Structure 1
Amino acid sequence: MFQEYYDAARLGRALEIEAPKKSKTGSLDNLSERFIDWMQDRVMSGNLSKLTLSSRTTGLNQACDTLDPDGDRMGTLSADLPIEAFQHIVDGFGVKTGAADTCLKALRAAYTWGKTRGFPKHSAVFEAKSGHKSKGGALQWDANDIGKYLSTHGPGSMARLWFCLAYDSHGRIGDMHRLGRENEVMHGDDRYLEWQPSKKGSAFVSIPFGEMLAAELEHHDERDTYLVTEAGAPFASSGALDNKVRKWIIEAGLCVDATDADGEPIYVGKGKRKIVKKVATRSQHGIRKGVAAMMANSGASEFEIMASFGWTEAKTAAIYTKKFARRGSAASASKRMASAAEACKSTKGVPRPVPRGTPSD
């Protein structure tokens, strides 16, 4: 508050500052504030991601700022709330069930942390339902999507370099803005791209350098990071890059019109510049999912996919390998059935594991 004190001093008066209000002990505000402080310490020590902190903080603030039927903030009430109170918070999100689900997850995390620190041990928050149904997450890019994007963003453009980096590295958006020449390593005569993913618990990634990325880099000057802004500076954060990526995707026509809860179009701009807002339908995570599916379809094992994506648990890779293993088994079974049918036609008999002759006519 330096500026406020300085301005007051210039006017020759003392600055009257109202002391920040402290949350009531045992209230929902108190639980949220203490949990957020604890999470911030964990982020500083490298044991929690900033994205998790941001998501949970947003969810908890939304819960605390929700007004109860009497017009009071829910945060001022006792943390020992009944199921109706939590359902009231969730219902306040209306059709935004995804946001409601995020809020509910943040509350559950806070109460799980708080039950050994003087807060309710058996909170009704674990009984509340958001009503959110997953739509399968990010959409995978298909050949048509890739064709549209690359035809829009030609060689030498930052938009194309992002796609080549995202596709050949199949990394997370949270790591792309910091990758550069220093991540290139030679193992014998082979060039590799190596980095430690920022997501907690991820394994170190070391993969052969992609041909598409290598070819695109020939159109760019050498710099500390592969991806830079129009001013030539590295992106300040993954969020800044993500915003730019959405713009590039929309420019390629991979988007839909934005609508409100009533299905009405959302506009941006004024007067003659007023247009319907566009929402990107593809993302970097969709590239990541598509590459994982392609690897599985090509016969890659769970451990091979794990090494390529920095996963430490086989169950994540199994999401992709099981799908194609079932498809392969079904195809194999169909071929066996077709073979059996042909055998029956030619021999008028039934194929058996052990030959026992063929019945007569």
Structure 2
Amino acid sequence: MLSTMPKRVNDKLPKGVSLDRDFRTREPRYYFRAPGKKKIRLREKPGTAEFDREVACARLGVAYVPEGQEEKRPEPLKRQAAEGTVDWLLAEYKRRVQGNISATVLARRSTILEEVCEYKFGKARCGDLPYADMRKRHVLEIRDALREKPGARNDVKRAISAMFSWAVESDLAALNPAAKIKLLYSGDGFHTWTVEEVRQFEATHPAGSKARLMLHLALYTGLRLDSLAILGRQHIRNGILSIRPEKTRKSSGVTVEIPVLPDLQKTIDASPTGELTFLVTEFKKPFTTNGLGNKMRDWCDQAGLFHCTTHGLRKAGATIAAENGATDEELMAIFGWTTKNQTTTYTKKARRKKMAAGAMHKLVPEQK
């Protein structure tokens, strides 16, 4: 009986989800609870795509409808927000942008914005205040109070800015109080893999293994984890890989079209794959995004690369391409970026590295 219980299940549950076993039967029951609200019972099985969608719906405050069932009208929001308040603006934002951006992104923003609404200026709850009165100083106070680390504080700033940017565009607000707040320096983010680390991973996971296939798919396509989870043979035609990345599917809608490199094709041909996706679980089913991320974590740990991640391979590919002379426009085409905000990080570093290498001889005094 005990052997059937999931181990350390709370370690892999999404934020806001908790496990509460039945007192008599020990049956696992999962709940989602947003700050200041009642918990919601989750019926789907953890680790499945259905469970992820159910959690996303719970974060947004809308009814979850399983696939194949008749769709019902969304339940009304539990909090009756007064028009013109921050609560009201958040409710409008969630209602009107739903379907225009990915459910995962909206759920992540909603979680942060709900915390913003619960923040108190003295005795006044932020969600009950007029959003038109919010200024830069208020955003800075909320950001610094809700989070401690620079990266997390940037997430708060981005979420508030996204909501107010939409409000300005929708003619609901005159200004975006977070627009001119600079992002805090939070380091270089995910570690960029080195060539030596790639070789170390390959030494642990031989050709023909799922781990080797995952490594080369990530390194030689530059796709994010959510796109790697759905990538399959249907995305390749006449040697060209064509896919619309999940992250930007509902925003820029950009399609990535890149040739399949010979090394990648060789790895695909030598590896067992699924029918719909290249990467499948032990049960021959496609990975969820979180499931594939956890599996890659295990593969990296097995190779002794505890600091390496899937996203670090994307950064490694961009770094290698930039150092080989790729332009900003070429990087945008390869990695699906729509602005040069990301590309200049790599191209500037590559140029600085080349300039330093070409100028080092100038440190040596001239011989007379």
TM-score, with structure 1 as normaliser: 0.68
Report SS of the residue matched to 1:224. coil
- 1:302–1:221 distance in 2 versus 1, CA, 3 Å: closer
Structure 1 position 24 matched with structure 2 position 88: no
Aligned match of 2:353: 327
Shift of 1:292: 1.7
The answer for the alignment partner of 1:349 in structure 2 is none
Where do 1:89-104 residues align within 5 Å? 89-104=142-157
SS in 2 for 1:325: helix
Structure 1 alignment gaps of length 5 or more:
2-16, 43-47, 256-280, 346-361
State the Cα deviation string for residues 258-317 of structure 1 (Å, max 9, x = none): xxxxxxxxxxxxxxxxxxxxxxx3222211111222122223344443333234445643
Shift in alpha-carbon separation, 1:35–1:314, aligned structure 2, 3 A: closer
Quote the residue 2:122 is aligned against. 69
Question: How many Å apart are 1:29 and its aligned residue?
Answer: 0.6
Q: Secondary structure at the match of 1:92?
A: helix
Q: Return the alpha-carbon distance in structure 2 between the equivalents of residues 84 and 327 of structure 1.
A: 39
Q: Which letter maps to 1:159?
A: A
Distance of aligned partners of 1:326 and 1:124 in 2 relative to their CA distance in 1, 3 Å threshold: closer
Equivalent residue, structure 2, for 1:183: 235
CA displacement, residues 208-228 of structure 1 (integer Å, 9 cap, x when unaligned): 334145235423155221011
Partners of 1:296 and 1:129 in 2: how far apart?
A: 26
Aligned pair partner of 2:271 in 219, 233, 246 = 219
Larger radius of gyration: 1
Structural RMSD (CA): 3.3
1:1-361 to 2 correspondences below 5 Å: 20-42=78-100, 48-70=101-123, 73-79=125-131, 80-81=133-134, 85-115=138-168, 120-122=173-175, 124-126=177-179, 132-186=184-238, 191-198=239-246, 199=248, 200-201=251-252, 202-215=254-267, 217-221=269-273, 223-236=275-288, 238-255=289-306, 281-313=307-339, 316-334=342-360, 341=366, 345=368
Task: State the identity %.
Answer: 28
Q: Distance in 2 between matches of 1:284 and 1:69?
A: 43
Count of aligned positions: 290
Using the alignment, how far apart are the partners of 1:303 and 1:231 within structure 2? 41
Determine if contact 1:81/1:124 at 8 Å carries over to the other structure: yes
For structure 2, the 5+ residue unaligned runs are 1-39, 41-74
Tell me the CA shift for residue 149 of structure 1. 2.4
Counterpart contact for 1:138–1:285, Cα < 8 Å: yes
Q: Is the 8 A contact 2:116 2:142 kept in 1?
A: yes
TM-score by length of structure 2 reads 0.67
Q: Whole-Å Cα distance in 1 between the matches of residues 206 and 324 of structure 2?
A: 29
**Aligned residues of 1:90 and 1:104 also touching (Cα < 8 A):** yes
Residues 248 and 221 from structure 1, CA distance in 2 versus in 1: closer, same or farther, beyond 3 angstroms?
A: closer
Deviations 1:67-114 (CA, angstroms, capped at 9, x unpaired): 4433x6421233224555434422322423322321222212222333
Judged with a 3 Å threshold, the aligned counterparts in structure 2 of structure 1 residues 327 and 91 are, in CA distance, closer, same or farther, namely: closer
